[in-house]
Each structure stands twice: as C-alpha cells, then as structure tokens.
Structure 1
Amino acid sequence: MFQGFSDRTIDFMWGIRFNNEKSWFEANKETYLRDFYQPMRELNREVWERLNAAAPDLGLFGKVSRIYRDARRLHGRGPYKDHLWWSIQRPTDEEFARRPVLWFELEPEGWSYGMGYYQAPPVTMAKLRHRLDHDPAPFEKLVRQIKKQDRFTLETEDYKRPKGHLSALLDPWYNARSFALSRDHKGHQPVLYSHDLVDLVGEDLETLLPIYRYILSVEADPDPRN
C-alpha cells in the first residue's frame, strides 16, 4: 500500500543529480529501492486499480520507468536519471512516446501528471483533423469539460505551418503535431507524503479517460490522406 514519499526520496533525487556516478548510486541503492522506486510502484498500482475499475474494457496496464539512462543517449550526462515516472496505457509494442499514455512524474523540483501523446504519428493527427473537420461537436464537449475543471493545461508542439482554423477552442488541437494535458506542481507539497496522493492523482486522471478513449478511437479511423 502506498504510504507516501518522504524527505529521503527528495534527498536521493538531489543526491543523484549532483553525484551521477556508479559508486554513489551503488552506495545509496537501498535508499533508491526503498524510498523512491518502491513507493512509485505502489502509487502506480493503486492508481491503475482505480482506472482499470473505471474502464475495464481498455485493458490498461501500469509501468514504472527505469532509473538507468539508455547508454546510447547519454550525451555527456551521467548514467542515471534524477527523476522517475510511471505510465498507464493499453498494451502495445510501440515506444512510450508514440502512444497516448496517462502518467505521473516526480523530480527534484516538483511533480506532475496528466495525459500525453509526445510523438504522435502524423497519420493519427491527420485522422484527428479529419474528425474535427466533419464532426467537431463530440471533441468540443470533451475539451470544454477539461477547461472547466481548471486542472490541466494543454501543451503542444505545433506544425511550423498551421493546418487550418476551426475555432479558438479547437485550433490548438487542430494545429498540434503532438500534445499533453499536464498538471504541474513546483515544490513538494504535503500530499506527496501521504496516501491522499492516490486519491488526488487517481481522481484527476479518471477525468481524462473520456478524452483518452477518444484519441484511441481516432487511431482506428481510415487514413484520410489516401
């Protein structure tokens, strides 16, 4: 059962940032497993249980990231990450960034969670635009619900040349090549240190399930570019 993170969790993240080498990590590995990785796994499991109960047909699964960086992509950085995240998504052979996922991340400066599609295939975004061109009302309703909650902020990577104009509400989505709905927190508030975090993150991510479903359904549409 998730009991919360602790000051040891935060101290470890800062420690690995400034001592990113094997000897320091090995000397503090037990702290990492006990105070960082294991609580992250427990949080992931309990939030997954809530989302899976709310949408059993999606077949969602949870996964916690590795602290080890890909040796092929170090680019002068140390071999370890100073943060961890977990994802909840449908089973897939695709890379994390190429599938829509629900996520939570804890890092030295703060924490965040939401839904992201960070490297959405161009064909998927073309399908979304085609849907919005022909039947925008269902997606408009979902976007209005998200904006009304005032919890998540839409973050996008846009095409250099806009794809078109529909409305002030839908244009940010229509012209995005990838996107995320994110709730970001600077610092480490008391909720991180208690089981209340499960309820907060679980409740908020559950409100994103309708738009997550919508994006999944878009992927099944025929390619409008043909």
Structure 2
Amino acid sequence: MEFKGFSKKTLPFLESIRKNNNKEWFSAHKKEYEELILNPSRAFVTEMGEHLQALEPFINAIPKINKSLYRIYRDTRRPNALAMPIKERIGVIFWQGNTKRMQSSSFYLHFSPDELYVAVGVRWFEKPMLDAFRETIKNDDKRTQLAKILEDIKAKDKGYTHLEKGYKRYPKGFSADMAHADLSLYKGMATYKMLDPHLIEDGDKLINTLYKIYEDMLPLQQFMYAVSLRVEHD
C-alpha cells in the first residue's frame, strides 16, 4: 500500500475516541480504525523507514503492532487505563539496535487532534539505560560532546528543544563543579519539535518534513545509540 497521507477523517476519528472512550464504542468502529489509522500507519512505517535507512542503515522499521506501531489499547497497569482504555494519540517508533524499542535510541513521533510530536533519542530511562547514560557522561569529553550536540540542535532555530531535567540532586560521581554536570540530572535524553497535526494529511510533505527534522537531530540519535550499546555489552 502506497503511503499518501492520513485521511482528513483521521483526526476527527481520534477526537471521537476521546469523547467515546470505551471498548464497546471502539468495537463498533473497528473498521474505521483500520481504514483511518492502522492501514495508513503500516504504509507510513514502510515508506518512512526506507528514508530513515539512508540516515541509519540498520534502523528498525517494522510495520506491525508492538514493533514500530503501538497497541491502540492502553496498558491496564497504567493509571487511568480503565477509565480511558483506548488511546487517542497514535505513536510510531523507528528504533536502532537489539535492546527494547523504548530503551534504544529512536526516531519517534505521535499525533493526536492536538499535536504532532516529533522526537529523537530516548524519552525516559529504565535503570540499565540510566546507568549506561551516567557511566558514559562521567567522561569529561563525552559530556562536552553531548552538550555541544544539544546546543547545535537548538541553534538551528527551528523550534527544536529537549527534555527538561528530572532530578534535583547530582547522582554519585557528579558534582556542581564539573562542566555540564547538569546532564546527569535527566531522566531521559531526547530532542523534539511540535508541529500542526494536520501535516499527517499530506503524505509527501509529512515524509519530507520528518526527514529534515530527523536529519537535524541525527547526532543525538548516534550518541544515544552508542550509550545503548553499553547496555547490550554489559
């Protein structure tokens, strides 16, 4: 299936999920979900994946649920999952390496009626990745390298930003007198940009826009992928 963009009915359908968030309603509209979201998402992963492999040849672009695509049902272990069991936000991930898809550096996006969120990196660390990240940036040169990557990405003046710090106290091995010690205070390391969600309705423009953003953010992808390799090797 060639990717031509998502239908103009896709965002209104997600708004309907928000207003009718129950399994009974969703079951009655399963065909619309497949036509408006699932099938074009699969086509998008295939085409976008081919473009991304020009940046990173071994990126994972697998147009299946629990691979590059996320389940539409919320994890029942998460807060509010029972009250709102259906996701009104559609996520797609292209990850690199053999670790968990959310714990290896990735090109990521999600869209909803409110936003198109585009990101690169690792959005939150589980303990093995957190340990690997901190061990990496204990090295003065690596901290300087990461700080410059973030500075250069933001300096492009294209609306790029990065996650906020998640911790207040320096972890063991870091102190305020170290250059760029604040990098140790992050719970994840990713850069991102917010876009108009209606961009998903124009297939060519969406692919081209995402490619340029991901290309700009590629240095962080490569840095964080190297961090994830420490988890694989430890």
**Which residue pairs with 1:138 in the alignment?**
145
Shift of 1:32: 1.0
Shift of 1:113: 0.7
**What pairs up with 1:195-210 in 2 under 5 angstroms?**
195=203, 196-210=205-219
Gaps of 5+ in 2: 63-67
What is the TM-score when the length of structure 1 is the normalising length?
0.82
Report if the CA contact (8 A) 2:52-2:211 is conserved.
yes
Residue type of the alignment partner of 2:220: I
Report if the CA contact (8 A) 1:157-1:177 is conserved.
yes
Report if the CA contact (8 A) 2:103-2:228 is conserved.
no
**Structure 1 runs (4+) greater than 6 angstroms displaced:** none
SS in 1 for 2:72: coil
Tell me, yes or no, if structure 1 residue 158 matches structure 2 residue 166: yes
**What pairs up with 1:61-210 in 2 under 5 angstroms?**
61-62=61-62, 63-73=68-78, 75=80, 76-94=82-100, 96-120=101-125, 121-131=129-139, 133-151=140-158, 152-162=160-170, 163-165=174-176, 166=178, 170=180, 172-185=182-195, 187-189=196-198, 191-195=199-203, 196-210=205-219
- CA displacement, residues 49-69 of structure 1 (integer Å, 9 cap, x when unaligned): 11112221x343340111012
Determine the C-alpha separation between the residues in 1 that align with 2:187 and 2:76. 28
Determine the C-alpha separation between the residues in 2 that align with 1:29 and 1:134. 52
Determine the C-alpha separation between the residues in 2 that align with 1:59 and 1:192. 22
Residue type of the alignment partner of 1:105: H
**Which residue pairs with 2:221 in the alignment?**
212
Shift of 1:172: 4.8
Report if the CA contact (8 A) 2:106-2:120 is conserved.
yes
Give the length in aligned residue pairs.
Answer: 215
Report if the CA contact (8 A) 1:61-1:90 is conserved.
no
Shift of 1:210: 2.1
Question: Could you tell which deviates more after superposition, 9-18 or 37-46?
Answer: 37-46
**Which residue pairs with 2:60 in the alignment?**
60
Shift of 1:150: 2.4
Identity across the alignment (%): 23
What is the TM-score when the length of structure 2 is the normalising length?
0.80
Shift of 1:134: 3.9
